[in-house]
Amino acid sequence: MAEEEQASAYEVLAVEAEATEADIRRAYRQRSLKVHPDRHPNNPDAAQKFHELTEAYNLLLDPIRRSALDAQIKIKNARKLRFAAFDSKRKNLQEELEERERAFKKARGEKDDDERKKAQELERIKEEGRRMMREREEALLREQKEKEKQAGESSGARVGGGATSDAPPEGLLDTTIRLKYSLSEVPHLTTSSALAALLSSFGPIDSDSIVLSLKTPKPSKKPERSKAKPSTALVPLKNVGDAFAAVLASGRKERGLEGIEVSWAGGEEPEIVKWLKRNGKLGMRKSDGPAAPQASARLFSTSASPATPSSSTFSSFPESLPTHPPPIPQTAPKLGNGLDFESLTLMRLRQAEREKLEREIRAQEADE
């Protein structure tokens, strides 16, 4: 039973607080006849009243529960008596205090509701911000992909109109070749101008950037050690195709390279050359004279575009192939010396790479 029902247990049985156990049993039997559901089937409240009567009866027959009930009744009566003894001022203070407590609880509940609503609104705003950020990032990604696609299409239009989206970028040493020769066999190749003149038949050469490492024979008592180490030269050409043609002509007498070994400065064939071979954009034209090797001419097919007259046995790449260094963009800022920032940076990088290669070559030759 609830507290208010427990407090009215004596009232339910209509007995006094000093009633004995026999009085309680007698009162229960008398009142149960009046509210028993079997005796009053048409009364919808009979079952509820009989249940309350039974609960009150069981409570009062339990000494422990009855003692607790008596204590509650005494406290309640004492409170009523004490409150009744208050004068009007103390009653008003009591009522005001209770009113303040109720107002405080109400205000605290409203504050909790406001804070909960603010937290929900803040979380909604954060989620909205995250959603907008994701949409912005996706839009930027789509824009970047569209720019890359347009750049690939424009690049494809410049490089012969073929599929060039997978073309590798041109490296710093893609147009540089390495020459190895002995001064005892080729004594005139001691200057940059001599090397430029020798290789001029292949195409334009960056004469100012040629790096030479000459090795002269040293006198020795042992004949087997009198032979000089091979001299080395790094020669940058203006065109990747010209460099490729020079490498193919390594050691060929009819090209003036007898006794001269020509290879790529990077140690292996550049990626752009491999890519052009795979796409059929690299070829050689047969020379008008007997010097052109037929096997090499069959190895790389001639470009579909009509051949133009040339003094070289080996063709360079088509005109649409990018040359090295790359053309200066019109929108790039011009420096005081007439070069744009990209060309100046590229020139410095090339010079630093050549100096590094020269140091490596000299160190390797010193170890040998």
Structure tokens at 48: 């509820």
Phi, psi of 3 (to 5 degrees): -65, -40
Average pLDDT of span 185-208: 86
At 265, which CATH number? 3.30.70.330
**Is there a contact between 250 and 260 (Cβ–Cβ < 8 Å)?**
yes
DSSP state of 334: B
The pTM is what?
0.37
Domain boundary among 85, 104, 119: 85
Lookup result for tokens 């950020």: 133
Structure tokens at 159: 């490089």
Kindly state whether residues 81 and 209 are assigned to the same domain. no
Q: What is the pLDDT of residue 103?
A: 93
Q: What is the pLDDT of residue 123?
A: 92
Kindly state whether residues 71 and 186 are assigned to the same domain. no
Domain boundary among 22, 53, 85: 85
Lowest mean pLDDT among 142-156, 183-197, 261-275, 308-322: 308-322
Q: How far is CA 305 from CA 104, 187, 283, in A?
A: 93, 41, 11
Task: Count up the domains in the chain and report the number.
Answer: 2
Calpha distance 281→272 (Å, rounded):
11
Q: Which of 239, 296, 236 is nearest to 264 (CA)?
A: 236
Quickly list DSSP for 340-361.
BHHHHHHHHHHHHHHHHHHHHH
Beta bridge partners of 178: 234, 263
Kindly state whether residues 330 and 200 are assigned to the same domain. yes
Kindly state whether residues 190 and 331 are assigned to the same domain. yes
Strand blocks (E) in the chain: 176-181, 211-213, 231-236, 261-264
200 lies in some domain: yes
166 lies in some domain: no
Kindly state whether residues 73 and 198 are assigned to the same domain. no
Q: What is the pLDDT of residue 344?
A: 63
**Structural domain of residue 231, as residue ranges?**
176-367
78 lies in some domain: yes
- Residues 6+ away with beta carbon under 8 Å from 185: 259
Q: How far is CA 116 from CA 110, 140, 357, in A?
A: 10, 36, 70
What radius of gyration, in Å, describes the C-alpha atoms of the chain?
A: 53
Q: What is the pLDDT of residue 317?
A: 43
Pairing relation of β-strands 211-213 and 261-264? Answer: unpaired
Kindly state whether residues 184 and 330 are assigned to the same domain. yes
- Other beta carbons within 10 angstroms of residue 202's beta carbon come to 28
- Residues 6+ away with beta carbon under 8 Å from 254: 291, 313
Beta bridge partners of 235: 177
Q: What is the pLDDT of residue 299?
A: 34
* C-alpha triplet 286, 287, 291: angle, nearest 5°: 110
First to last CA, the chain: 108
**Is there a contact between 184 and 217 (Cβ–Cβ < 8 Å)?**
yes
Kindly state whether residues 184 and 308 are assigned to the same domain. yes
Q: Which of 283, 296, 209 is nearest to 249 (CA)?
A: 296
19 lies in some domain: yes
Calpha distance 194→200 (Å, rounded):
10
Q: What is the pLDDT of residue 221?
A: 57
Average pLDDT of span 102-107: 92
Quickly list DSSP for 45-71.
THHHHHHHHHHHHHHHHSHHHHHHHHH
Confidence of residue 86 (pLDDT cuts 50, 70, 90): low
Kindly state whether residues 342 and 194 are assigned to the same domain. yes
Q: Which of 117, 3, 24, 15 is nearest to 71 (CA)?
A: 3
Strand blocks (E) in 67-226: 176-181, 211-213
Q: Which of 326, 254, 336, 258 is nearest to 296 (CA)?
A: 254
106 lies in some domain: no
Domain boundary among 65, 85, 105: 85
188 lies in some domain: yes
197 lies in some domain: yes
Confidence of residue 208 (pLDDT cuts 50, 70, 90): confident
Phi, psi of 299 (to 5 degrees): -65, -40
126 lies in some domain: no
Q: Give the model confidence (pLDDT) of 277-335 as tens digits.
A: 887 776 544 443 433 333 333 333 333 333 333 333 434 444 344 444 444 344 444 44
At 43, which CATH number? 1.10.287.110
246-276 residues labelled b (16+ CB within 10 A) or e (exposed):
bbbbeeeeebebeebebebbbeeebebbeeb
